[in-house]
Structure 1
Amino acid sequence: MSGRRGRNSAIRGPHSALTDFLAANNISAAEIRDSYRQRLERAEADAAAAAENGEGPSAQDVDEEEQAQAESSAMAAERSKKRKRDQDDAIAKIKKGKAAKKDAKKKKKKGSDDEDDSDFGFDDMYKKARKLPGQLENCEVCDKRFTVTPYSQAGPDGGLLCTPCGKEMKKEAKAQEKAAKPVVRRGRRKMESNRLDGVTNRGTKTLQQLCIEKLAKHADDIDEFGEMPEAIMDQLSAIFSKKRAMNPTTIKLFLQPDMDRVEIHEAAYLETENFDQIFAVVPNIKKLALRNCCQFKDSNMEYLIEKAKNLVDIQLLGANLVSNDMWIRLFSARGEDLRSFKTEWLDAAFDDEAVEALAACCPNLERLKLERCKRIGVSSINAIATLGKLQHLTLRFLKEIPRENLLNVILQVGKNLQTLCLENFEQPALEDDEQTDDLLLAAIHDTCHNLSKFRFTDHTECSDEGYINLFTDWDNPPLRYIDVNSTRDCDNANPEGPDDFPIGLGSEGFKAVMAHSGSRLEYLDISSCRHISYATFAQIFDGVQQYPHLQEINLSFCPIVDTTTVASIFRSCPKLKKVVTFGCFKVKDVVVPRGIVLIGAPKAQDHVMEQFGDTIMDFQKELMKEMERDSRIAGGRVIPVMG
């Protein structure tokens, strides 16, 4: 097959850019080589002839040669200066081209009706084609000859730039981009996060706050905390958990042999061995609180039963790897000493049998919290009713619970309760002739007489009349904590509820709540209670009635709340610290007093609010007080201090 190749089909190698240039201009490399050789031979022959005749370079020739060298040096210096001028001109041309291009864009954006668009695009048709890599091209800015590469920059007018001009153009573009970039306020996200957590920092931070933040920032470089109060350790644990810094390395900082409580707010990054380390290092532990302990297993529970002999308070959230039999074994081994038990978010285990074992083996239990445990139901409710020493009860079931069983729990354990939290209980549908079910509130009214905290949320059957009856003539001290959010009717066909009394907390029920507990109330959550009227808010928070202990109130998704309502709350609550108004779109341009955090109002101003009286005389009195405070008294006259 190779013999069939023609005579003119010889393989040729690649040509360089210089060879292509010489061929394009009819310049022969052979002619240049022959001419150079001829000149070299002629010079050698002349030199040989001069040597035979005894002739040599004269003094005049030497002077002429030195003069030529001096002229060559001067020309080189002049060329260097010219190159510098060319570069400066190139930079100026780049800047001028950018400015012209920007002006052209502005004119193009403005536009005009008398512009002729008929020649649109014809300028681009006659532009010179861009050179390929390897070819020679003149720089568009400095007109310097250079070899085109795949990385050659395009100039302002569509040409190519040499390497120095391209770098200068890129530097100018970066400077303009940096100047045009908007300034972002750093720390804004952290400040808003702290506000949602209820943390407000006004003025200079304390030395303790600065030290705690510095410790959290350099968590990996700390060997031990040393002797610290429990309150500081709790703050550090919360900060480490929030920053996702609680890991197998930093957990050692929170374990000391003389401690009796361990609280880890975020244990998701801990391994199985770290939980065993807790009971090995802290043998006298009395309180254990682990949240999101997803790696807590049966082996850890066995080690807990063996080592933690003094444990009386257990809080395990998200411990889904502990089997049902191991829960029963825990209650059998530590039930007599157990005083508090809390668990939440359990899916695979912890069923009715485990709750029955808890009720049978833990007769001295005072605090119980069971929330979002998927496998517990009616049998668990009946078992809880046998715990006669309960003082704090929090329940949130995901299964449907009959009313009779829930009423039985209140009637059996309600007399000793100090805290009652019933959230989101699904109950069988009412009969056709029944519109509301207030029996549960009536049972609380008749049985519970020692409550200080009451949470009754996400209920869709109790009416405003039930709340009126609960808080009217209730033989219970004023509550300090009330949470009745999301108590409303979910019937979209009749969103206002029954004609007589609305579903959920309404205007009359809210009046009864504040009349009963307003004098001692510290926390109030009435979010999504949409049946409270504007007149009711104006009557309760009128600036005359004072609620001296109220520190936090949540008014989210109460559509009637506006700027005036929030300002009235500021005047009626002297110790207020936090107000939440998500979804209250009528709250605008509120001037927030110093020391109060307003969350959810996007247009709230964050500075001091001057609170004046309601009448003109009160206003004048307050104004005179301000003048006297900011002035000096001289000769019985008030002379304002300028500046």
Structure 2
Amino acid sequence: MSRVRGPNSALTEFLRERGIDALAIRQRYEEAQREQGEGGQNDGAAQEGITEEDGVVTVSSATSSRNSRRQSSEPAARVRSRVSKKKKRDAEDEDDELILDRIARPKPGQIEFCAECNNRFTVTAYSKPARDGGEGLLCHSCGSKYAQEEKKQKKTQISSRKKRKSVAAALLDKQDVMVPKLQDLCIKLIARYIDDVDMLGDIGEVNMDKIARILSRNRSLKDNTVRLFLVPSVKQLRFWDCSNLCSDSYKLIASFCPQLESLVLSMCGQMTDEVLDYFTEKLEHLHAIAFNGAFLIRNPCWINFFTKRGSQLTSVAISNTLRFDRTALQALVDNCADTLEELSLSRVGNIFAADLPLLLKLTKLISLEISYMRDALTDDVIIDILKLIGPQLITLNLDDCDTLSDRVLLEGIRPYCGKLQNLSLGLGENFTNEALATLFRDWEINNGLINVSLMRCTKVGDEGVQALIEHSAKTLVILNINSVYSLTDSTFHLLATSECEFLSQLDIGFVHCVGDKEVEMLSERCPSLQLIEAYGNIRITEVAKMKPGVRLIGRQSDTI
């Protein structure tokens, strides 16, 4: 007799050491089940357990009535002990049942009858159990049939999950989920296989800009792909993520696009002095620049650029750099004073309050942004600037202006900014409710604002925002009151009943008084409303019904 034995599981060894036979266990288990059924008919529910003595497994049962008589004659502590032991035995019984089921399962190589078609088949390790919790196994043909159905169900689940993700992603991107235009499909396809495209040809600046945006979003704008956009006749280029471009690629822009008039380069951390000098030499028609993150460019290079090209610049936007200081600002002011209409300085770390009076020479400004530069903002400096350029100013952005006080509102904006249309005071945590209400109430020199941001103006409440609504309801297009915590639903009732016929975008994130009722009312009564952002508003749920054409994003249910 061969003594060669294959590998065994820990459970098999455990049972063999104690002389436990699988067939005997199964017979005793079935007997116990029958006794339990008979005992349930005669005396009520029976209690059973599997115990072991001297390597032999036995099944014992005791009726619930006998247990109750014993418990009534025993002390309470002993009763509790018996109850805990009973619970432990019940748990052990459940484990034993799982073990028995596993033992009772036919082993590979055995002959069984299919639970579905009743045909004989040989059991394998891949034989599937009967469906819907039935007993027995399935033959290969029946198992394959149901396996295919399971695959289809999984595919359906995956496709449904992808669809939900695409819907949520579109909402977060502020887009509609609809059948795309053929043109947009082609643009996405080009962007997807941009490395294999030799030449884009004449597809128009609008489509070129769309492709550039998609590539920037996917971090796919690289040295080899940027060449596709460099057409000699192009007059405007906007690259929103230049992090993968080397300095030589920047030079190609000036080499291949000599007619360039407007240039936007964002995240251009590899742009150097040599590149800007090359722009200065080659781009003779340039009149608008926006450089975000050009932190390698030093002051002498900025001074050279403004000295040679400043007289033709009408728009300058510089952000996220520490190497632009007073000397560079002085060069900008001295050389651009006669032409500059738009100036944006954001997160420019070496500009301070003592440097901003230089802007008083820029008398033609109609758009001014000084944001995220707390060290540069003081009441007196801003008021002096508004006294000079306020009467012609259309756009004013003072985001992250918590060093400013109500004086800017009452002594700067109210008396001088009669033509103002776009106002951003985000993170203005010192502006009070009363001052904002005074600014807008009876503000006769101003005909109404179009775009207003009061994001995180935490001291502002109903009075200030309602004064804004009463003043600008007929002109408002974009309103941001994100994190204006103290607002109540009365403000939104006023907004819904004030004939805001042009209001198209509304940000009410973290305004906790707003719920399903309020957003439904705004959706119905604001005819031009297209987008409501509601991040952090737990009272706005998926139950909220929006009219067709209105997107509500930021709900907890809008997850990817």
1:570 maps to which residue? 523
> Is 2:384 the partner of 1:408?
yes
Q: 1:408 to 1:23 in 2, by over 3 A?
A: closer
TM-score by length of 1: 0.63
Whether the aligned pair in 2 keeps the contact of 1:590 and 1:603 (CA below 8 Å) is no
2:327 maps to which residue? 353
- 2:379 and 2:265 map into 1 onto residues whose CA distance is 33
2:132 maps to which residue? none
Instruction: String of CA shifts for 1:535-575, please: whole Å, max 9, x gaps.
Output: 23223314xx4211111101111111111111111122111
- 1:318 and 1:113 map into 2 onto residues whose CA distance is 78
* SS across alignment from 1:482: strand
The 5 A counterparts of 1:164-243 are 165=124, 183-184=157-158, 185-202=161-178, 204-243=179-218
* SS across alignment from 2:532: strand
* SS across alignment from 2:380: helix
Whether the aligned pair in 2 keeps the contact of 1:398 and 1:426 (CA below 8 Å) is no
> Is 2:356 the partner of 1:381?
yes
Match of 2:536 among 569, 583, 597: 583
The 5 A counterparts of 1:221-620 are 221-347=196-322, 349-363=323-337, 364-400=339-375, 401-427=377-403, 437-474=406-443, 475-488=445-458, 503-504=459-460, 506-542=461-497, 545-588=498-541, 589-602=543-556
Give the drift of 1:602.
3.5
Q: 1:140 to 1:316 in 2, by over 3 A?
A: same
Instruction: String of CA shifts for 1:573-614, please: whole Å, max 9, x gaps.
Output: 11111011112222231111111110122458xxxxxxxxxx
Give the drift of 1:270.
1.2
5+ long unaligned stretches in structure 2: 5-25, 27-32, 34-44, 53-91, 101-105, 112-122, 129-139
The structure 1 segments of at least 4 consecutive aligned residues displaced by more than 4 Å after TM superposition are: 21-24, 117-124, 164-169, 171-182
Give the drift of 1:469.
1.7
- 2:51 and 2:349 map into 1 onto residues whose CA distance is 73
Whether the aligned pair in 2 keeps the contact of 1:374 and 1:399 (CA below 8 Å) is no
589-598 or 438-447, larger mean C-alpha shift: 438-447
1:623 maps to which residue? none
Give the drift of 1:206.
2.1
The residue type equivalent to 1:354 in the other structure is A
Whether the aligned pair in 2 keeps the contact of 1:376 and 1:399 (CA below 8 Å) is no
- 1:576 and 1:406 map into 2 onto residues whose CA distance is 34
- 1:539 and 1:237 map into 2 onto residues whose CA distance is 42
- 1:472 and 1:344 map into 2 onto residues whose CA distance is 35
TM-score by length of 2: 0.72
Whether the aligned pair in 2 keeps the contact of 1:386 and 1:412 (CA below 8 Å) is no
568-577 or 205-214, larger mean C-alpha shift: 205-214
2:62 maps to which residue? none
- 1:387 and 1:216 map into 2 onto residues whose CA distance is 41
Q: 1:399 to 1:117 in 2, by over 3 A?
A: farther
- 1:165 and 1:541 map into 2 onto residues whose CA distance is 69
* SS across alignment from 2:258: coil
- 1:458 and 1:233 map into 2 onto residues whose CA distance is 36
- 2:425 and 2:96 map into 1 onto residues whose CA distance is 75
Whether the aligned pair in 1 keeps the contact of 2:402 and 2:429 (CA below 8 Å) is no
Give the drift of 1:473.
2.4
Whether the aligned pair in 2 keeps the contact of 1:442 and 1:466 (CA below 8 Å) is no
- 1:603 and 1:306 map into 2 onto residues whose CA distance is 54
Give the drift of 1:384.
1.9
* SS across alignment from 1:267: coil
The share of aligned pairs that are identical, in percent, is: 26
Instruction: String of CA shifts for 1:79-132, please: whole Å, max 9, x gaps.
Output: xxxxxxxxxxxxxxxxxxxxx9xxxxxx9xxxx9945265569999x99xxxxx
* SS across alignment from 1:413: helix
Larger Rg, first or second structure (1 or 2) = 1
Whether the aligned pair in 1 keeps the contact of 2:409 and 2:436 (CA below 8 Å) is no
Give the drift of 1:187.
4.2
The 5 A counterparts of 1:98-117 are 114-116=47-49
- 2:492 and 2:2 map into 1 onto residues whose CA distance is 94
Instruction: String of CA shifts for 1:475-530, please: whole Å, max 9, x gaps.
Output: 11221111111101xxxxxxxxxxxxxx22x2122221112111121111111112
The residue type equivalent to 1:599 in the other structure is I
Give the drift of 1:23.
9.8
- 1:187 and 1:332 map into 2 onto residues whose CA distance is 55
5+ long unaligned stretches in structure 1: 1-20, 25-99, 101-106, 128-138, 145-163, 429-435, 489-502, 605-643
- 2:245 and 2:191 map into 1 onto residues whose CA distance is 18
Instruction: String of CA shifts for 1:129-173, please: whole Å, max 9, x gaps.
Output: xxxxxxxxxx952279xxxxxxxxxxxxxxxxxxx945778x989
2:65 maps to which residue? none
What is the RMSD of the two structures over their aligned residues, measured on CA atoms? 3.4
- 1:562 and 1:23 map into 2 onto residues whose CA distance is 76
* SS across alignment from 1:233: helix
Q: 1:455 to 1:140 in 2, by over 3 A?
A: same
Q: 1:480 to 1:115 in 2, by over 3 A?
A: farther
Q: 1:23 to 1:536 in 2, by over 3 A?
A: closer
* SS across alignment from 1:186: helix
